[in-house]
Structure 1
């Protein structure tokens, strides 16, 4: 499940893919939000755990999110909306993914992975020979996103994009915690053995990858924190520890001063922060880090309260 952790950790928002995007009809209640309110004496930062690839049928959102949005004077995302909308991002990704010929799939992929990769690529409508020029991290994220899109998920329907559009319509300011260049450097900096290991997991799983993504998506919709941690955080930390540190922990730590600066502003400056759900989970997540610094932290979840009182 490590490759799907990207779907709730970010780094997929700008990925250029194409394909069909069916929109299955759901009659479920809105997704249960992964939402926390962090407060000091006069300001609050709402922390909302996003899934960066969603279906149109995942909307409308919970009323808890609507209330947090209405209460916030500003929103913050991993990447500022104006930078995320830069049409040059795709070219930058392609350039980075081909910048080192010695690190491309054609050079580093173990022999035993070639046939499974070719089979998976063909299943997704990609000519295998087109992949040889790219590094493993780009091949993995491309195929995962394409597979997700063929099953009704899409970055443009992700929670981040949805709330960016709402912020724009409401005239609320929206900023970013980091830059596209920083996110791309994180992906490109993954150790080669861990890049290959993550790609191996995806290509060898074959058609079962869709069921695994559905499992992760279902856990996010239910706000099943223990299962989300098991499927993403714990697996990544155990099997690809350097990637986990760089993808999750280091970025969490870098964001903490930004959140503290938001809380330190004069009264009346509440913020809704939308980040990949992975960043909010566990002892090394943003929620735990801010709580350890003495801020008041409350879970905001009306549906959770209802379940508890039944």
Structure 2
């Protein structure tokens, strides 16, 4: 099975920012208010890679953040601890002793990967003991950073840094949980092939995603990221379940527990989790909470 749409699912947050744009007063974005009988929250659809031109953010968003008691992100404050993250990556992303990435790939796919690394001036020796899933994440990130966007300037990290030492920070997932989504994919050959192919053909798709996000058009984003991929590749449904829907249910359950407290939360979640009929917001509404688009 081809993985082109699977990559869109797993990397949707990255895709939403890989074709540069400015955040301005005219950009609607993806922003909601959620209320229970006890607590309340503002929910912002975020993007994980950005640059300085995205700031300052809209006044309404910043006002909601400043008034909040707790920042809720996909990850907690551990994500800001570079030493701890480095230890996790060293443990989780290296292949078992004695194995190289060549052992996990078909000869033709391995040849394509070597050619790409040579073209990008990346020494094979520096990545040959890296798991295929993590290497593909690195390749995608490298591509995005070549366009001028960095994780340190991402919207979610922006709020994490502002909240650190000033607000309680709660995570909906752990870094290891997110990392293993990409490390435990079954077909390494398909993953590597489609990652390399997607880089060559990504620009037009990115332009459509960015335009939809700027307009706050969640329906168009749903069409681009979920409906059209499932229509053209129905067999991809298990991967949507793995990367998006299963996680949405877990996130919504944790948010519903938080909203049993009389506090106001500011929640930052990748935009791909806030669209469609199985989104975090849909799950919260089904639990009896009021969801209002802002």
Shorter-normalised TM-score: what interval? 0.7 to 0.9
Number of residue pairs matched?
A: 284
Is residue 56 from structure 1 mapped to residue 52 from structure 2 by the alignment? yes
Residues 264-291 of structure 1: CA deviation (Å, up to 9, x unaligned):
113xx11011111111111111011111
Which 10-residue stretch deviates more, 108-117 or 151-160?
108-117
1:225 and 1:27, CA in 2 relative to 1: closer, same or farther beyond 3 A?
closer
Structure 1 vs Structure 2 CA RMSD = 3.0
Is residue 178 from structure 1 mapped to residue 173 from structure 2 by the alignment? yes
Which 10-residue stretch deviates more, 98-107 or 144-153?
98-107
What is the TM-score with the length of structure 2 in the denominator?
0.83
Report the counterpart of residue 273 of structure 1 in structure 2. Answer: 267
Report the counterpart of residue 193 of structure 2 in structure 1. Answer: 200
| Cα separation, 2, equivalents of 1:163 and 1:31 | 19
Tell me, what secondary structure is at the counterpart of 1:3?
A: helix
Structure 1 unmatched runs, 5+: 13-23, 301-310
Structure 2 unmatched runs, 5+: none
Is residue 221 from structure 1 mapped to residue 217 from structure 2 by the alignment? no
Tell me, what secondary structure is at the counterpart of 2:50?
A: coil
Contact preservation (8 Å) 2:77, 2:160: yes
Report the counterpart of residue 7 of structure 2 in structure 1. Answer: 3
| Cα separation, 2, equivalents of 1:296 and 1:200 | 43
| Cα separation, 2, equivalents of 1:54 and 1:251 | 24
Contact preservation (8 Å) 1:2, 1:231: no
Report the counterpart of residue 285 of structure 2 in structure 1. Answer: 291
Tell me, what secondary structure is at the counterpart of 2:141?
A: helix
Deviation at 1:263, TM superposition (A): 1.5
Is residue 188 from structure 1 mapped to residue 189 from structure 2 by the alignment? no
| Cα separation, 1, equivalents of 2:208 and 2:115 | 23
Deviation at 1:210, TM superposition (A): 4.7
Residues 50-98 of structure 1: CA deviation (Å, up to 9, x unaligned):
1111122122212231232133211111111244324131332233222
What is the TM-score with the length of structure 1 in the denominator?
0.79
